[in-house]
Structure 1
Amino acid sequence: MGYRFSRGDVEYLRSDEGRQALAACNELELSTSSWLSDIAAAREKVGDRYAAVVETVLLRRKARAKLDEPGEWLLTDDALQQASAHYVARYRADRLAGRDVHDVTCSIGADLVTLARTASRCVGSDLDEVRLAMARHNCAEAGVAPAVVLADALRPVSRGTAVVADPGRRDSSGRRTWRPEDFAPPLDALARTYAGRDLVVKCAPGVDPEVVPWAAEVEIISLDGQVREACLWSGGLAEVSRRATVLRSDGSREAVTDTEPDDAAVREVGEWIVDPDGAIVRAGLVRQYAARHGLGQLDHRIAYLTGEAPPAGVRAFRVLEHGKYSERALRAALRKRRVGRVEILVRGLDVDPNKLRPRLRLGGTEQASVVLTRIGPTPTALICRAERIPPS
């Protein structure tokens, strides 16, 4: 759960003395090998506040990979873990641009800062006074000035705003919880509280749409190939029923929705295999994606696609050979190609790549990608060469 900050810690860290302490401790390596000596040095430099200072230094270092310019921000470990990556937060804020927006679980203000940059007017609220103090500091550091108030998300204090919520997904011991009724606040309670209002709720990407029937649109979002979160949109914010949004840190994006044609046929193995982004798979939009790009399915139950030209900007697999899968046949084919390093992708077969790889006993100098799947009743192995397709 990390260090538990107090209001006194926040006031100290915002003071000139605290800033000087942070600068002094930022010079420490704070690695596993140097930890004991660094903590001793921090105690000497800072005194009794050393734990809050060291934790803040470490969190700021971690935040650089996730947040947009968090240089002097104040953070907690839980809040940083739950905050959206800034590309994702910016995308969501763009969907709400020009609206009056109320972030009813604003925490340390990570998403609130991004919302405030595109909203017409913006409010943030939370029940945690320590995190609210951090949010006010972070908004000031970022150059935005939303109203930040103490309020319960289940007791509305605004009218006419689009409501944004990011319920806590950890129990009192810090362990993740996956049941929507255990979120803080619970999903159904949020939906009841803001029934008839424009509401967007951020949650884990594995949410079952059946447990959130009030969500008119379920959007699954990925960033650079990693599925990050689901967004549940209701009221006038919903545009489709299902959406997969594929974001890349180069600024490009692709969205697939359930309103698009899904007439992708099952085909014989073509020149390429395409493994759709995880957001597309989780959103159940593989057929729509295939139809958009002129691809077919290897099997109607499996997400692997095939065709003669993969989409621009994706990592695809050029098929070198394929046939019925057996471990012995695969080992012989890879050795014939002098493959020593192999990437193994599996769908539809009970094969553990980490257990299979050492059993292949490869020792060549080449590398390959192997796609293991089921085509109809036949377990199939496709030996491929992975290639990054240039953007169009």
Structure 2
Amino acid sequence: MSSTAELRQSSAPLEKTPLETYVPPARPSLIGLSREELALKLGEIGVPPRQQKMRVQQLWHWIYFRGAKSFDEMTSVSKETRAGLAERFTVDRPEVVAEQISNDGTRKWLLRLPSGDDLQKAHEVECVYIPETDRGTLCVSSQVGCTLNCAFCHTGTQRLVRNLTAGEIVGQVMVARDRLNDWADRDTPHGNRLVTNIVMMGMGEPLYNFDAVRDALAIVADNEGIGISRRRITLSTSGVVPNIIRAGEEIGVMLAISLHAVRDELRNELVPLNRKYPIAELLKACRDYPGASNARRITFEYVMLKGVNDSLDDAKLLVKLLKGIPAKINLIPFNPWPGTAYECSDWEQIEKFSEYVFNAGYSSPVRTPRGRDILAACGQLKSETEKLSARERQALRAMAMTD
């Protein structure tokens, strides 16, 4: 890093404070509510307690299994109940403002999240769908902006506007299924899902929005609705140590750690949260993570930065640090963004690093960069779209609406 960048990084706060809070619209969406919360909403429109359990199951099926976009579609629900729900609530998900499709098939959606009924205060996040031969992975955001200031990540240079609600997190999954025609009655020869995996690796630090992330992922994993197994959901954190064990106990999904350095001095620069929770504390929390085993390994994400953290000495120390942790190391070629001070490691050096880690007994795949041409790759979210002109944004929105 340059001396100017180092000064800026050292003076930046470890964590940002949200600038705003969520304001629900006059008719809030039912998406993101638990079964218990849905029962309360039904009670508000006069559904008697003896009917609430049945009606909740009907709503759950229509919303999360069939992907209904209006109460009118819910034909097994009485007309009276549907009319009462429509007066007070919606099943709206985030609005697709723009859709970009990469040369490699990756899709990035810019999603609008209204705050109250004032469109001028609407916020935007991005989520990304990555199709592969054996899976389809959806990268989901948890905050508008990010709490943290990681030096190599473009999202980390932005303000933290606010946390997303559980409904806004679940809504990203529902938007992906809408756009990909991926609901229960999808017309394919084998009926295979397109969205098979979820990674909480989009905008934001999930463990600083713990309750909403927990509640959203419980809905995503529910086998009577969206039904994505917890073993196919990965939560990535920069190292919010107090919430790591809690995540294992209350969320129970796969864990990924954004490590990126093996010495505290360097990690303090790359991931400033390390000054609060240094590497030793972070790795202790990983060793204590509930359910961690060879069958449920913790993923350690390591971005490859040329001349910064990519030496064989770094690889050797990485192996030493992870001793005793059921782990795999995901090596990520750095994805550049405008104004960054870093470069991606040379491919030959990445291969040497990977080979050493692999020979030490750890899986060390090199993540193939996806969606770089639309700035949808790791660390690039919410960048190119911010710079689009009003005319360009309007054109992209029109394309999204007509696809």
TM range (shorter): under 0.3
Bigger Cα Rg: 1
Query: Which of the two has greater helix per residue?
Result: 2
Higher relative contact order (CA 8 A, sep 6+): 2
User: What TM-score do the two structures reach when normalised by structure 2?
Assistant: 0.27
